[in-house]
Amino acid sequence: MALILISSDLFIDTMNFIHKWNRPKPPICGRMEASPILSDPAMNLEAIKLSQLRALNAIADCGNFSEAALQIGVSQSAVSHAIASLEADLGVVLLSRGRHGATLTPVGERVLVHAQSMLNLLELIGREANLAKGLQGGQVRIASFRSAATHLLPSVIAEFQKRYPSISLTINEYRGDDGVEQALRAGRVDIGLTCQPSTPEFDSWELWQDEYIALFPPQAQIPDPITWADLAQYPFIAPPTHDYCAILIWGHLTRLNQTLKAAYEIMEDSTMVSMVSQGLGATIMARLAAEPFPPEIQVRALPQPLKRPIRVATLASALHPPAVYAFLETLRDLAMPKSAQSTQPVA
């Protein structure tokens, strides 16, 4: 083995240099040096807004920009601008846009996890503040499908605001029960109105039984009461097969061994009513979804009744402020659609 001899002075000088190099460097002006990531000129973290994170979360939930805009109550262009700004601030592409919607990129999926954590923490801050305010302030957030929001909630909200004028309310409308339940799970709302049977993760109670009725064109010669054969004489205007109302209607007909063939499948309730009023066919709809009736169409009870239960749901694991319980109490006391208060016959 070869030996390399160095002078003692050179050895000491070398060790002093190594010690000086490895010694921790003092902070500049009493502050820690910035992380290379945070000082990346390609990123502008200070410019990121909560509205951008909400937009990202909504798109991940809905799969496209238009439904995400409806979920958070802004325009589609506002959602597009929020995502474009967020991507510019971070210097990465978060979403892959295509003809069939938008999907998260790999880095978008990782960013979404942190964004959801930040939004959840904000909700917790709001809940702590609401708990401290009691009934002297705070907010109640409600999610509902359209017909329940239209016919059940307004009178309840009016009375609630008389009782508790310092508590604010917000209503988010969703196309179906899935959106309402997801909003409850995510902590975006406190109370939801749904039609589907409740699962153990929700505390729920039945608010109302909404009957299904048959709508006929203005010039139709329709007896009262009707038979299923009377309904089968007309082109049947049905909701889409995946819709909760369609599942109820087709299941009802199957149990009764009745057959109707859908001539049209229409998503919007107002479109179905308009088509009936124009003489394009007949339909079966939930009463709250059909009201207000155009004066020219004919309304009949079904030969065998069908109803959908409307339920009030809250997340079982959530800690609710007093304002939420106060609204639930008002809802129990007052919720009744105007049609139920009328003594007029269906026809």
Q: Are residues 214 and 172 in the same domain?
A: no
Q: φ, ψ for residue 108 (rounded to 5)? A: -60, -40
Q: Are residues 201 and 136 in the same domain?
A: yes
pLDDT of residue 29: 45
* Strand partners of residue 237: 264, 283
Q: Are residues 319 and 203 in the same domain?
A: yes
CATH of the domain at 285: 3.40.190.10
Count of structural domains, the chain: 3
Say which residues have a Cβ less than 8 Å from residue 181's Cβ, sequence separation at least 6: 192, 194, 196, 202, 313
Say which residues have a Cβ less than 8 Å from residue 69's Cβ, sequence separation at least 6: 58, 75, 76, 78, 79
Q: Are residues 223 and 201 in the same domain?
A: no
Residue 32 lies in a domain: no
Q: Which domain holds residue 192?
A: 131-207+309-341
Residue 40 lies in a domain: no
Domain boundary among 69, 95, 121: 121
Q: Could you tell me the mean pLDDT of each successive run of 10 residues in the chain, 347 residues long?
A: 42 46 46 50 83 93 90 89 93 90 93 92 79 76 92 92 91 86 91 88 92 96 94 96 91 95 94 96 95 93 96 91 92 68 41
Residue 24 lies in a domain: no
Q: Are residues 228 and 292 in the same domain?
A: yes
Beta strand 307-315 with 191-194 is: antiparallel
Residue 26 lies in a domain: no
Quick count: other Cβ atoms within 10 Å of Cβ 341? 7
Q: Are residues 232 and 172 in the same domain?
A: no
Q: φ, ψ for residue 40 (rounded to 5)? A: -60, 120
Residue 59 lies in a domain: yes
Q: Are residues 180 and 326 in the same domain?
A: yes
Domain boundary among 98, 121, 144: 121
